[in-house]
Amino acid sequence: MRENPVKRRLAAGETVIGSWLSFSDALAAEAMASAGWDWLLVDMEHGPIPLGDAAAIVTALRATDVVPFVRPAWNASSQIQPALDLGCSGIIVPVVNDAADARKVVQDARFPPLGERSRGGIRTPLAFRTDAMTYFERANDEIVVLVQVETATAVRNVREILAVEGIDGVFLGPNDLAASIGKRWPDVWEHDDGYMAMVRTVADEARSAGKVAGFLARDAAMAKRVAELGFRFIGVSGDGNFVIGAAKRALDDTRAALK
């Protein structure tokens, strides 16, 4: 069965770097993968990417060395189980504010005895290059399950969230965390002591629990800072921002050159 190199690198204490996919197109995802990211996440919460397109994207990523993750649209069985059945190697689940929410994720994301994920589907054994029963027996060990901490309430409960068996770690949503305390993003970054204390709390609690902390950084400088704080599953921007940013720079450079 195909192994998950990201999970093994995280277990070894390494840092892995990925990015966000918001375009509903397999070719665009394959182009992103060619850059050499460790992982790429198919965003079905804010993409928005429908299930059929997400399946094509995960299949395209499986032809590369990049490990595919999916963010389902909500913390619900109807979203989590279909996302996993695409054949991804990890999920990041939104809307987790306490241990009860985290246990709900485990129920939907893990096969028995940890959870109640249903067996079935064609894509998972194909994606993992194995048979259906081997996938069932080993999926709990290969799939990374992260839950989002994106509110002040979730930060207060992060220790209990991390203590839930079957949760590999937490992923801090910096923009929504700022929104939950009525602040603007990215204005709070390195300028608001209360906000930065919450960021440090998430990283420190994950380290104490022996689990992973993730973060979506805007750029390399922010990625360096969050790595210093202890985050090891680090996302950097996303396909939409890269396209818009590169297009804007090319247009500005051309206009300047033609003056």
What CA–CA distance (Å, rounded) separates 82 from 121? 9
What pLDDT was estimated at residue 121?
87
Which is nearest to 23 in space by CA: 46, 51, 49, 60?
49
Instruction: Assess if CATH 3.40.50.10490 describes domain 5-257.
Output: no
- Measured distance CA(159)–CA(197) in Å, rounded: 15
pTM exceeds 0.95 for this model: yes
pLDDT at position 140: 98
According to the model, what pLDDT value does residue 166 have? 98
Please measure the distance between the N-terminal and C-terminal CA atoms of the chain and give it in whole angstroms.
59
Give the C-alpha separation, 33 to 78, whole Å: 28
Cβ–Cβ under 8 Å, residues 135 and 143: no
Out of 11, 14, 46, 224, which one is annotated catalytic?
Answer: 46
Q: Is 191 a catalytic residue?
A: no
Show pLDDT as tens, one digit a residue, over the chain (259 residues). Answer: 999 999 999 999 999 999 999 999 999 999 999 999 999 999 999 998 999 999 999 999 999 999 999 999 999 999 999 999 999 999 999 999 999 999 999 999 999 999 999 999 899 999 999 999 999 999 999 999 999 999 999 999 999 999 999 999 999 999 999 999 999 999 999 999 999 999 999 999 999 999 999 999 999 999 999 999 999 999 999 999 999 999 999 999 999 999 9
Peptide bond into 68 cis (omega under 30): no
Q: What is the DSSP string of 147-161?
A: EEE-SHHHHHTHHHH
Category of 231 on φ-ψ map: left (φ > 0), alpha (ψ -120 to 50) or beta = beta
Given this model, what pLDDT does residue 92 score?
Answer: 98
pLDDT score at 196: 98
Q: Where are the domains of the chain?
A: 5-257
Question: Which DSSP string do the residues of 30-79 spell out, in sequence order?
Answer: HHHHTT--SEEEEETTTS---HHHHHHHHHHHHTSSSEEEEE-SSSSHHH
For residue 48, the model assigns a pLDDT of 85
Is the preceding peptide bond at 113 cis, omega within 30 degrees of 0?
yes
